Amino acid sequence: MRVRVSLELLRVGHCRHCERMVRADGHWHAVDFPALSVLIRHPQRGAMLYDTGYAAHFFQATDPWPERLYRWTTPVTLPTHETLRAQLARRSVQLDEIGWCLISHFHADHVGGLRDLPNARFICLRADYQQLRTCSRLGGLRRALLPQL
């Protein structure tokens, strides 16, 4: 029996950062790095996500010091039409319909919207989750982790 699963790539905000920091042959000027999420539709399992992209929670989590450094070094833009809520709604999916979310890793551009998924179960690597749960605020910041998300 064939199961037809559909995938849709969503751009959920972006940050700006020096290209050279992520590419050895990159330039020294700032470029946009899109935050991506994938909407997965399964005929029996329903709607799922792979990562969430950014959300308003990022701005709240990076308001206090020292987390504000994260916001300063990678300024984030999240237009209303790019929010996960808006993009899912355009596809007739509500946030509370997401049953599963696969987390690639815990950087803010991948997990910014986890708190907006009230009914989702999360799948991630145990070691990544342990690192997130045990790091200090400053230690997390050095690893680009925001446990508040």
pLDDT band at residue 127 using 50, 70 and 90 as cut-offs:
very high
Per the prediction, the chain carries an average pLDDT of: 95
Tokens, residue 133: 């749960």
Residue 26: per-residue pLDDT:
87
Determine the CATH number of domain 6-142: 3.60.15.10
Residue 97: per-residue pLDDT:
98
Average pLDDT over residues 127-143: 92
Nearest to 115 by CA among 133, 129, 134, 101: 101
3-state secondary structure (DSSP) of residue 138: helix
For residues 50 and 98, give the distance between their C-alpha atoms in angstroms, rounded to a whole number.
Answer: 11
Domains of the chain, residue spans: 6-142
Cβ 43 vs Cβ 60: under 8 Å:
no
Specify the pTM.
Answer: 0.91
